[in-house]
Structure 1
Amino acid sequence: MGTVFSFDIACDGGPRVRSAIEAAVASLHTADAVFSTYRPDSQLSRLARGEVDLARCDADVAEVLRLCERARERTDGWFSAGYAGGLDPTGLVKGWAVERAARMISEAGARGVCVNGGGDIQLLGEPEPGQPWRVGIAHPLRPGELATVVEGADELAVATSGTAERGCHVLDPRSGRPPVDAAASVTVLARSLADADAWATAAFAMGTRARHWLDAQAGVEGFAVTADGGTWRTTRFDRVSAVRCS
């Protein structure tokens, strides 16, 4: 998937957890092989060219495309895996793959799990008993600085879409052009990273509409750094913020 993955596991060890970590790593490599838009032999590339039909692909392909359709419906088309007749679910598939890997390890008995895929993070459980996870949100306009810090336990997913790493690579699916009044970055928090990844992509594409849309989503919070260095946050964001405003 063209990025770095890291694991932070809180547990007492044991063969079940070690085996689950190995299986989780293997699942990420499999997801890359199946869904890569850069590999001409991936199932996704072959499906997009019409060389295979969905029935001949792994069941994961149907699951991811179902989640993409759900995201398209929930975002009123601002998330799209089929822009201009193509097929590209990469705005969701990394989050889905990271979340699946994290849940594999958690279900094996780990007390706390953090899987980070290129800055998109699925957190489960706790790093220490009674302690929340804390995640710093990088400032897109000030390399090496944090824009804010969030915290949570049990189930917390953090995904960011923005221009800092790859420039403006998310387009408005309605115009085919970069979003009007796009933020420098939009970070979304939810329970599921598959959802947070898709919502962050959609929110970036929405431009200035994003704040109102995120506010209307149950169990979802958002934080953005605007192109001029300002910030905005959803009305309930303070519930997950580790930086208390006076």
Structure 2
Amino acid sequence: MSERPQALITGASRGIGAAVARALAETHSLLLGGRDLAALQSLADELPDARPWPVELTDTTALRAATAGLSRLDVLVHSAGAARVGPLTEASAELWRSIYEVNVVAVAELTRLLLPALRAARGRVVLVNSGAGQVANPGWGPYAASKFALRAYADVLRAEEETSGVRVTSVFPGRTDTAMQRGVRADEGGEYEPDKYLRPESVAAAIRTAVTATDDAHITEVVIRSRPNR
């Protein structure tokens, strides 16, 4: 059994989640969460101490089964997310529910199930939020609302776990060059301009800093924006 600290990363099959896995690979044993087993296995094969952790996060029964054997966990990174862009008049109840299920409810339930293990390790919880979790703009209603809710969840979790030693970090990246961003730009009808966006690796580097902070430091929030004239 590995003696290295263990990190579970959701949404690890691509984008920011995969970048976080690579950023933590030198120091942590990794559980790679996601639905695409082939993509997770491919990533695990390139890392020194990683294995797939395939689960549907919105399936509470599957989630309970998947977490049952995790008695100790040092780091939990919530990177999985769902986004849709469009006017509020076109946002159905089903759309609201689907976005909240992934961006809020699944995060809360997975964290709840793993809190005993995280407390045992005095671990870290990192929630990948968004600039939309700080400022809500037209077209982003359900997504922004879910990210504001995620921010509130993190704030309450941080306060409630203050005496347990669990540290909670919200990360607010701007637009990032990911497959999700491509879908968002398609919804917006705009040109995809990756050179103007953050790289997933840049967001992952900030997350790694929060995860590896010294014991006297609690990095509560990280805001990252791209440099427009780089």
State the TM-score, normalized to the length of structure 2: 0.29
Higher RCO, Cα 8 Å, sep 6+: 2
User: Greater CA radius of gyration, 1 or 2?
Assistant: 1
